[in-house]
Amino acid sequence: MMFRREIRILLVGLVASFLTFGVGAQAVLTDVRFTPPTFFVGDHVNLLIEFSLDSPLAVDVPDNMPESDWAEIRDISVQQTEDTVSITIAFTPFAPGTRTLPDMELGALQIRDIKVPTHSILDSAHEGVRSLRGQLLMPGTRLAVALILAFTAMAPFLFFGLVRFIIKWVKRSRDIYRIGRPARKLKRLIKRLRSAVGSATAPYWYSDLTDGIRIYLGSRIDYDCRSATTAEIAVLPHFSEPEKPQGKILEVLQDGDMVKFGGRFADDKRLLRTLDSVESAVKEWEKSHAQL
């Protein structure tokens, strides 16, 4: 509706100009068109003005383009027949609002008061100056910041818990190593004595085995078994039940005393059976000790 009102204003201005400057009934305005119909500052626009003629009229293009402080007139072309004339004005507006092109003398035809309605992108986009917007954030930024702050707040507690866990794990590993060290030492001795069967005499062989067993017993029952006799060890509460691993190990000590001091004969098969008995008793004792 606004554009049609502006076109009517343009038509009235042109008709009034023609009547004032004496062209009169010789040229009658029939059409006025802007291409594009709605244009903005900086657009290339073509204005087409068409007249019907009662008689031939001398219409010429000016040698120099008219000058304007708000628009650039790029070209003016004229197409004429016996009873019509079409004038095309190519221009580019640089100011918004309704403004008037400069007067043009096209031979016998004079054009004045051409109203040009130029729109503004800013005016059509919004009214007034917008208030400042807040800083834009990438999607997920708030969640990431919240997680970082939460982790920072919990970091001391997590670090303290991790340190406690590491300390407990180190202590437990150290205790397990210490607990298993006597058994590992005795197993190495059993392996060495197994390879020595047939090459060492029975008394010396049993002497090495019983010394290793006494060291192992001392670490398990917290008693100095190395300086104690087999009889003294036998009366301790730990060896009251012969069917337990401790009782089997006590039998090996007693057999060793008989071979070392009583002159009992022990062949290679008996030595190997003795090692199997010690190895089985130690394994059973360690398993029961771990369960405790």
CA distance 192 to 205: 10
Mean pLDDT of the chain: 81
Among residues 18, 118, 17, the alpha carbon closest in space to that of 68 is found at 118
> Looking at residue 60, what is its pLDDT?
84
Residue 173 domain-assigned? no
Q: Is position 164 within any domain?
A: no
CA gap 195, 88 in Å, rounded: 119
Domain boundary among the residues 75, 93, 121 is at 121
Residues 187, 117, single domain; the answer is: no
The domain tally of the chain equals 2
Q: Which domain holds residue 39?
A: 2-121
Same domain? 200 vs 274 = yes
Instruction: For residue 85, give the 3-state DSSP assignment.
Output: strand
Residue 143 belongs to some domain of the structure? no
Q: Cα(250)–Cα(248) distance, rounded to whole angstroms?
A: 5
Pair 93, 8 in one domain = yes
Query: Does the residue 159 lie in any domain?
Result: no
* 193 and 85 inside one domain: no
What pLDDT sits at residue 208?
93
Of the residues 71, 99, 121, which one is the last residue of a structural domain? 121
Residues 117 and 191 in one domain: no
Please report, for the domain that includes residue 11, its CATH number.
2.60.40
Within a domain: 9: yes
The answer on 114 and 8 residing in a single domain is: yes
User: Can you give the pLDDT at residue 2?
Assistant: 43
- The owner of tokens 């090459």 is 199
Residue ranges of the chain whose pLDDT lies below 70: 1-25, 122-137, 173-180, 289-292
Which of 121, 147, 168 is the last residue in one of the domains?
121
193 and 89 assigned to the same domain: no
Is 236 inside a domain boundary? yes
Q: Is residue 163 part of a domain?
A: no
Tell me whether residue 166 is in a domain: no
Q: HSE-up of 283 (CA within 13 Å, CB side)?
A: 8
Task: Give CA angle at 251 (254, 245), nearest 5°.
Answer: 145
